[in-house]
Chain A
Amino acid sequence: MQFDQILQYSLSGLSTGAIYALIGIGFSIIYNATGIINFAQGEFVMLGGLVTLSCLELLQLPLWAAIPCAVAVCTVIGVLFERLAIRPLRQPTPINLVIITIGGSILIRGLAMLVWGKDTHAIPPFSGDTPIAIGGATILPQHLWILAITLIIIIFNKLYFYHTISGKAMRACSYNRRAAGLVGIDVRRMVLFSFIISSAMGAVAGIIVAPLTMTAYDVGVMLGLKGFCAAIIGGMSSGISTVIGGLLLGILESLGAGLISSGYKDAIAFIILLLILFLRPQGLFGKADSERV
Chain B
Amino acid sequence: MKRDLLLFIAFALLIMVAPHFFHGGYLMNVLVFVGINTMLAIALNLLLGYAGQISLGHAGFFGLGAYISGVLTTTYALNPWSAMPLAALVVGCLAYLIGFPILKLKGHYLAMATLGLGIIIYIVFNETVDLTGGPSGLSGIPNLEVAGVVFDSDVKNYYLIWGVTLAVMLFSLNLANSRIGRALRAVHDSEVAAQVLGVNSRVLKVQIFALSAVISSLAGSLYAHTMTFVSPASFGFNFSIEVLTMVVIGGLGSIYGSFLGAALLTLLPEFLRGANDYDIIIYGALLMIMVMFMPGGLVRGIPALYRKIFKQKGEGDNA
Q: Could you tell me if B126 and A109 are in contact, using CB atoms closer than 8 angstroms?
A: no
- B285 sits at the interface (CB 8 A): yes
Q: Could you tell me if B278 and A89 are in contact, using CB atoms closer than 8 angstroms?
A: no
Best-buried of B54, B101, B113, B291 by chain A (most CB within 10 Å): B291
Contact with B along A75-99 (1 / 0, CB 8 A): 0000000000100111100111111
- B127 sits at the interface (CB 8 A): yes
Q: Could you tell me if A100 and B288 are in contact, using CB atoms closer than 8 angstroms?
A: yes
**How far apart sit A99 and B48, CA to CA, in the bound complex (Å)?**
12
Among candidates B48, B127, B192, residue contacting A293 with C-beta atoms closer than 8 Å = B192
Q: Could you tell me if B285 and A270 are in contact, using CB atoms closer than 8 angstroms?
A: no
B166 to chain A: closest CB distance in Å? 28
- B52 sits at the interface (CB 8 A): yes
Among candidates A37, A103, A270, A281, residue contacting B111 with C-beta atoms closer than 8 Å = A37
Q: Could you tell me if A263 and B111 are in contact, using CB atoms closer than 8 angstroms?
A: no
**How far apart sit A39 and B244, CA to CA, in the bound complex (Å)?**
15
| Nearest B residue (CB) for A85 | B288
- A110 sits at the interface (CB 8 A): yes
Q: Could you tell me if A267 and B123 are in contact, using CB atoms closer than 8 angstroms?
A: yes
Q: Could you tell me if A96 and B295 are in contact, using CB atoms closer than 8 angstroms?
A: yes
- B237 sits at the interface (CB 8 A): yes
Contact with B along A97-126 (1 / 0, CB 8 A): 111101111111111011000100000000
Among the 9-residue stretches A133-141, A205-213, A271-279, the one with 4 or more Cβ atoms under 8 Å from chain B is A271-279
Q: Could you tell me if A89 and B280 are in contact, using CB atoms closer than 8 angstroms?
A: no
Residues of A within 8 A of B237 (CB): 221
Q: Could you tell me if A99 and B291 are in contact, using CB atoms closer than 8 angstroms?
A: yes
**How far apart sit A39 and B283, CA to CA, in the bound complex (Å)?**
15
Residues of B within 8 A of A108 (CB): 284
- A261 sits at the interface (CB 8 A): yes
Q: A113-B278, A267-B120, A293-B192 are in contact. Are A103 and B113 (CB under 8 A)?
A: no
- B102 sits at the interface (CB 8 A): yes
Q: Could you tell me if A36 and B287 are in contact, using CB atoms closer than 8 angstroms?
A: no
Residues of B within 8 A of A228 (CB): 112
Q: Could you tell me if B111 and A107 are in contact, using CB atoms closer than 8 angstroms?
A: no
Q: Is the interface of B mostly helix, strand, loop or mixed?
A: helix
Q: A95-B52, A96-B291, A100-B292 are in contact. Are A273 and B116 (CB under 8 A)?
A: yes
Contact with A along B262-281 (1 / 0, CB 8 A): 00000000000000011011
Within 8 A of B (CB), among A180-229: 221, 225, 228-229
Residues of A within 8 A of B117 (CB): 270, 274
**How far apart sit A107 and B291, CA to CA, in the bound complex (Å)?**
14
Q: Could you tell me if B244 and A102 are in contact, using CB atoms closer than 8 angstroms?
A: yes
Q: Could you tell me if A107 and B285 are in contact, using CB atoms closer than 8 angstroms?
A: yes
Q: A99-B244, A105-B284, A110-B284 are in contact. Are A266 and B127 (CB under 8 A)?
A: no
Q: A89-B292, A221-B237 are in contact. Are A98 and B54 (CB under 8 A)?
A: yes
A–B Cβ pairs within 8 angstroms, 11 of them: A91-B295, A94-B106, A95-B52, A96-B291, A97-B108, A107-B281, A229-B116, A264-B123, A273-B112, A274-B113, A281-B109
- B25 sits at the interface (CB 8 A): no
Interface size, chain A (Cβ < 8 Å): 47
User: How many B residues touch the partner, as a band?
Assistant: 35 or more
Contact with A along B106-130 (1 / 0, CB 8 A): 1111011101110110011011000
A residues neighboring B (CB under 8 Å): 31, 36-37, 39, 85, 88-91, 94-100, 102-111, 113-114, 118, 221, 225, 228-229, 232, 261, 263-264, 266-267, 270-271, 273-274, 277-278, 281, 293
A286 to chain B: closest CB distance in Å? 14
Best-buried of B104, B116, B241, B285 by chain A (most CB within 10 Å): B116
Among candidates B108, B116, B192, B244, residue contacting A94 with C-beta atoms closer than 8 Å = B108
Closest 10 pairs between A and B when the two form their complex, measured CB to CB:
A103-B287, A106-B284, A110-B281, A94-B107, A107-B284, A37-B108, A103-B288, A270-B116, A278-B101, A263-B127
A108 to chain B: closest CB distance in Å? 8
| Nearest A residue (CB) for B280 | A110
**How far apart sit A133 and B109, CA to CA, in the bound complex (Å)?**
42
B242 to chain A: closest CB distance in Å? 10
